[in-house]
Each structure stands twice: as structure tokens, then as C-alpha cells.
Amino acid sequence: MKDPFPPCPEVIVRAVTPICETLGFTTLPKHFHEVIGAFFLYHFTNIYLSPLISPLLFPKTYRSFNKRNRINWDIHVVSLVQSTLICIISLYAMSVDQERSEMDAKQRVWGYTGLLGMTQAFGAGYFLWDLMVSTQYLNIFGPGLLAHAICALCVFSLGFRPFVNYYAPTFLLYELSSPFLNFHWFMDKLEMTGSTLQLVNGICLLVVFFSCRLVYGTYSSFRVGTDIYLAWQNPPHDIVEQGRTVPAWLALSYVTSNLILHFLNFYWFGKMIDALRRRFDSTNSTKGPSDKRGMTATEDEVSIEGTDLKVPAASTLHQGIVRQRK
């Protein structure tokens, strides 16, 4: 299926083609404007849009933030915008791209369509921005998020060879859990920690994170690994297809990056479960100060994708639900 976006201006294509061909990114010139456009969309949201809209929607909360919290808030707004947009694009590509649905194992490795290239470009544009921000604010988001940005950018850059374009929307659907992650963080800042709404959102976060990243992600990682292995072990014999082999470095780079991302997903999910377990296990022994509503204020923090989530004690959740029912 064709790329629904207007084509990249010819002057840009001519300018970037030599370096793209040197790097082996043969389809990147067609989508270079989309990569840069996505990058500046998220940069604009971070620098201008969020600081403009957030004080209007949440004047008391946003204006009370110190510099660190404002940076964190604005970046979470970008994450919310990006995850919503990229999931819509990915689901659209998976549902309407007939060429993609007809690809066999070889085409899943080497196949390319304009729509998949656009999806790849929007993902690469975000992870390029994410790498910049993760490096700039390493003290805020930590090495885990930086590693995530590096590996994700590596995976989506290799897609412009083209290489496993078929799986671009598949792995971008990891982002289905990100809106719930961001909402959880926003609720903490809006003094909704322990509320029924946050409890429901937290349950949705765990279910979607587990389903998309661990179950569907493990299945998809196995599929892409199998396809790459078969392409590597069975180079084409047709003279027309010579050169379409999978170099060991390419397979190793992609699979290693994918495994690191997959490990981070399991690690983050384990941190979430561990925080919840410790909260419920310590309910009877932990006595925290009461806040204005008479609710226990004890909580744990767990960093998931650079987001410090406050996990309230079980007693907090219970008391909050009881009070709201009254």
C-alpha cells in the first residue's frame, strides 16, 4: 500500500540519498521528511504545546511544579500524544495494508510497502527524539530509558534497509500500555493517588502491559527471530535475488536489540508486581501519616520506562473506595 503522506521533496531526497545509501538505508530518503516531521512534532509538543496547555487545564498543579517536575510533566505529555498517535497508525497499517497481510516468511524479512515505511518513520522519529531527551535528562530518567531509546532507534533504523518492515506496526503496539502508564503518573501529580479511578487505571495498565508486551511481544519476537534465522540459513539461489542475504551482524544487531527491549519489559513488569506485593504484604505492619482526607499516605515508588509510579498501600485503596461509595 502506498504511503498516504505527500512524497518527500526531491531536493531533500537528492541531498540525503548518498549518505543513506552508504549506511544501507535505501528506503529512508522516501521517508526522511516523516522522520524529521515526527521528531519536530514531539519536540514542539514538549517545548511549546504542553507548557501552553497544561497551565490552562491544571493551573494550580502545573504552576506549583519545580523545574524538574515541569520537565517530567511535559515529557509525559509527549509520551501520551506519541503513544496514542503511533498505535492508531499501527492498527491502521495492520488492518488496511493488503500487501502486508499477504507476505510470506521471505517477504516478512525483505518486504516493503509505503505505508509500512511511514509507520517505521514515525517510530524512528519518536525514538530519535527520545534518545535526545534521555541523554539530556539522564539524571531524571535513568540508564534504563536511555538503553530503551538506543535499542529502539537501532531496531527502527535498520528497518530502512528495508529489513523486517512487516513487524514495525507489530512492535509499535507495545505503546498500547503507555497511555495508562502516563495517566497513572498524572493522577499522582494531581493528588489522585489511591483513588478508585487510579485503581481501575492501574489494573488496566497491568493487563494491557502483560498482554501486549509480554504475551504478544514474546510471540512476535519468536516469529521475527524465526523469520530472520530462516532468511539467514537459506540465502537465495536466483541470480536476480543475489545480495538479499542476512549478514550475521545485521541479524545479531536486530535480535540483540529486540532481546534487550524484551528484557526491559519483563524487568519493568516485575518491578510493578513487586511494588504491589510489598504494599499488600506490609499493610498490617506499616503505619504512615494521614493526609487531609484521613487516608494512609504510605506508598512505594517504582520506575517504569523512566516513570516513577507511586503505588499506594492496600489500606489506602480500600479506604479511598469506601469513602467514595459513601
Q: Read out DSSP for 218-238?
A: HHHHHHHHHHHHHHHHS---S
Q: Which residue's C-alpha cell is 492498527?
A: 91
Answer whether 261's CB lies under 8 Å from 152's CB.
Answer: yes
What whole-number distance in Å separates Cα of residue 145 and Cα of residue 308?
A: 12
| pLDDT score for 325 | 45
In-domain check, residue 124: yes
In-domain check, residue 201: yes
What whole-number distance in Å separates Cα of residue 241 and Cα of residue 87?
A: 34
SS3 content of the chain, % helix, strand, coil (to 5): 75, 5, 20
Domain span at 287: 10-325
> For the chain, how many structural domains are there in total?
1
Residue 47: all three cell numbers together:
517545548
Q: For residue 228, what are the CA distances in angstroms to 93, 97, 120, 172, 316?
A: 22, 22, 18, 19, 49
pLDDT in tens, the chain (326 residues): 889 999 999 999 999 999 999 999 999 999 999 999 999 999 999 999 999 999 999 999 999 999 999 999 999 999 999 999 999 999 999 999 999 999 998 899 999 999 999 999 999 999 999 999 999 999 888 888 898 899 899 989 999 999 999 999 999 999 999 999 999 999 999 999 888 898 899 899 999 999 999 999 999 999 999 999 988 887 665 544 545 677 888 888 898 988 888 898 999 898 888 877 776 565 445 444 444 333 333 445 555 665 666 655 544 444 544 444 44
Measured from the Cβ of residue 37, the count of other Cβ atoms closer than 10 Å reads 16
In-domain check, residue 309: yes
What whole-number distance in Å separates Cα of residue 124 and Cα of residue 301?
A: 30
User: Longest C-alpha distance within the chain, in Å?
Assistant: 76
In-domain check, residue 1: no
What whole-number distance in Å separates Cα of residue 264 and Cα of residue 256?
A: 12
| pLDDT score for 273 | 83
What whole-number distance in Å separates Cα of residue 213 and Cα of residue 272?
A: 14
Residue 273: all three cell numbers together:
508486581
In-domain check, residue 239: yes
In-domain check, residue 145: yes
Angle formed at CA 209 by CA 208 and CA 215, multiple of 5 degrees: 90
| pLDDT score for 180 | 94
Backbone angles phi, psi at 55, to 5 degrees: -65, -25
Answer whether 122's CB lies under 8 Å from 5's CB.
Answer: no
Q: What is the pTM of this model?
A: 0.84
In-domain check, residue 3: no
What whole-number distance in Å separates Cα of residue 269 and Cα of residue 275?
A: 10
What whole-number distance in Å separates Cα of residue 61 and Cα of residue 82?
A: 23
Please name which of 57, 319, 315 lies closest in space to residue 186, comparing C-alpha atoms.
57
In-domain check, residue 5: no
